[in-house]
Amino acid sequence: MILRPATVPLALVLCLAALAPGCDKSGPAPGKASSDAARAVDAPTLELYVMSQCPYGVEAESAVIAAKKQLGGNLNVKLAFIGDGEAGALESMHGPSEVKGDLAQICAAKVAPDRFLDLVACQNENPRAVAENWRECATQAGIDAARVASCVEGDEGQKLLAASFAEARTRGVQGSPTMFLDGKPYEGGRKPRDLVRATCDAWKGQKPAQCTSLPVPPPVHAVFLSDQRCKECDLAELEPRLKGEIGGLVVENVDYSSERGKALYAELRAAGPAFRLLPAVLLDAAELEKDADAVAALARFLVPVGKYRSLAIGGEFDPTAELCDNRADDDGDAAVDCSDSDCKLEKACREAKPQTLDLFVMSQCPYGAKAMIATQRIVEQFGKELTLNVRFIGDASGGELRSMHGPAEVAEDLRERCAVAKYAADAQFMKYLACRSKDYKSTAWEGCATESGMDPKVLQACVDGEGKDLLKADFVLADGMHIDGSPTFVVNNGREFNAIEPAEIQAEFCRDNPTLKGCKDRIPVDPAASQPGQKGSCN
């Protein structure tokens, strides 16, 4: 989804709970070791699964370290890792350096279970260097660096990390960070204060002294305004995440269809004409100001609306507009569902166009680039049986063209959109799009144009002329069809799917066009493109 003025995707807000303070490499308070050790047997255990170079994992580690320092032996911490492979052939999302960082941290935990978090805190001051900085950090933490090195560079570390990866897979852990508190999934806030409070709540019997003087966060009332008619407006998952930022959150759920909902919506529309779309999260402004931590964390996502601060979550549902599938005249214009002009782009109302494939992309999205390379193979497979349209995803609000990956992407979108317009015969434009997609960050585009049988001057003239209007029309169309993921394919102007591999694109297209000659000979599946993690989208 493209960021629009005063709008942030809901997925981004859900990530706010991952925000955590910087790491602190200081050790436990003097004189606490013996009493901590005595309590550790009964203390709750927090298990933290991470990737050592994942930024959210690093932030979670720092928060856990801060909570551990506050609670001492009243919190046990187990650090575990997410990855693939067996001993001797270990892999992690961020590459070999992350594997080395994982090895250093799991080996430090083995060698010095009472000091390893100090090493982790030190490493996290520069997480990009976790593959090398562990020696210095081990010494700084008072850990025998030679013993850690023997583990990291030998079979012991490989076995420890392979076992940790296997444990993560067994427990279904995929995201970094993932936490368990006393064996139960932990989905609360990831600030030190949240972890301390959750640990204290998990204590059975008499709670430790640190739990008796925890500050009570000020109450902040929030209205979750939604509409039961909207299938994508459920805010249930947001509440626990938001509570991680606002400890005293008190939620009132209000539906637009209720008397209270309609009155509140009218009040908000009067207070801020720009307010229109649901769902909305409305925080009491006066109460929110009393929670300095929450204000600091959320300030860039807050929009003033009357006595509230609206949390920008990217709501896209207009409760006053026509719904296209409920057999009712929602906007009072005497046109129902697909007969209403507002519904012409909705899936259920689109006119079927057999043998048609539309591809919506961002030119510098890595997944979109793979899809465009694959689509050239589809053109070769189907020839004149296929009508192919390539369109682009972006934001045209305010008269300015914007795209997720910045001005360079807009510039290439323009060139590619002009190629589509000027070289449409036999989908010749796909040769240029596929060529550019092989090195989509390069600014040297003329070579691909010439190689594809195009005149660079023709493309540039279009870019300088009608190109912006053409690209704007694509952006508006994608927005009207609620398409914000690159790549998104639309087959026969109806069903949508995501794919980046020629064999899968062919299979999806042939589901709706089974009699075409291009469907008879199946494109071989590329094993490399079929591995987990090879598919995805930019949105």
Q: Report whether 437 contacts 369 (CB < 8 A).
A: yes
* pLDDT recorded at residue 537: 84
Q: Is the domain of 10 the same as that of 107?
A: no
The per-residue pLDDT for 20 is 34
> Is residue 345 one of the residues assigned to a domain?
no
Across the chain, mean pLDDT equals 88
Would you state the pLDDT for residue 399?
A: 85
Q: Residue 337: inside a domain, yes or no?
A: no
Q: What is the mean pLDDT of residues 94-111?
A: 96
Is residue 443 in a domain?
yes
Pick the residue with more confidence: 16 or 134? 134
Is 495 found in the same domain as 474? yes
Choose the final residue of a domain: 320, 336, 364. 320
Q: Are residues 262 and 114 in the same domain?
A: no
Tokens of residue 195, six digits: 């972890």
The domain in which residue 485 lies consists of 352-530
Same domain, yes or no, for 78 and 171? yes
Shared-domain flag, residues 298 and 192: no
210 with 74: CB under 8 angstroms?
yes
| Residues in a beta bridge with 84 | 91
Percentages (nearest 5) of helix, strand, coil residues in the chain: 45, 15, 40
State yes or no: pLDDT of 1 exceeds 60. no
Position 529 scores a pLDDT of 54
**Tally of domains in the chain:** 3
Instruction: For residues 453 and 311, state if they share a domain.
Output: no
Task: Tell me the angle at which helices 502-512 and 366-382 cross, rounded to the nearest 10 degrees.
Answer: 60
Q: What pLDDT shows up at residue 535? A: 63
> Do 314 and 184 share a structural domain?
no
What CATH number corresponds to the domain at position 511?
3.40.30.10
pLDDT at 341: 82
pLDDT in tens, 141-155: 999 999 999 999 999
427 assigned to some structural domain:
yes
CATH of the domain at 257: 3.40.30
**Is residue 420 included in any domain, yes or no?**
yes
305 lies in the same domain as 256? yes
332 in a structural domain: no
pLDDT for the residue 196:
93
Last residue of a domain, one of 164, 192, 211: 211
**Count of beta carbons in the 10 Å neighbourhood of residue 184:** 9
The confidence score (pLDDT) of residue 329 equals 76
Looking at residues 389-400, what average pLDDT do you find? 93
Q: Is residue 436 part of a domain?
A: yes
- Residue ranges of the alpha helices (H) in 112-237? 116-123, 134-140, 145-152, 155-170, 192-202
As a whole number, mean pLDDT of residues 358-373 equals 96
pLDDT per residue over 176-235, tens digit each?
A: 999 999 999 998 888 898 899 999 999 988 889 999 888 888 999 999 999 999 888 999
279 has a pLDDT exceeding 50: yes
Residue 495 CB contacts under 8 Å (≥ 6 apart), including other chains: 347, 511, 512
Does residue 472 lie in a domain region?
yes
494 and 385 within one domain: yes
- Quote the percentage of the chain above a pLDDT of 70: 91
Say whether both 201 and 258 belong to one domain.
no
- pLDDT-derived band at 533 (thresholds 50, 70, 90) equals very low
Look at residue 350 and tell me whether its pLDDT is greater than 80: yes
**Which residues are within 8 A (CB) of 250 and not within 5 positions of it... i.e. 6 or more apart?**
219, 220, 221, 222
Phi-psi region of 180 (alpha: psi -120 to 50; beta: other; left: phi over 0): beta
Pair 412, 292 in one domain: no
For residues 496 and 360, state if they share a domain.
yes
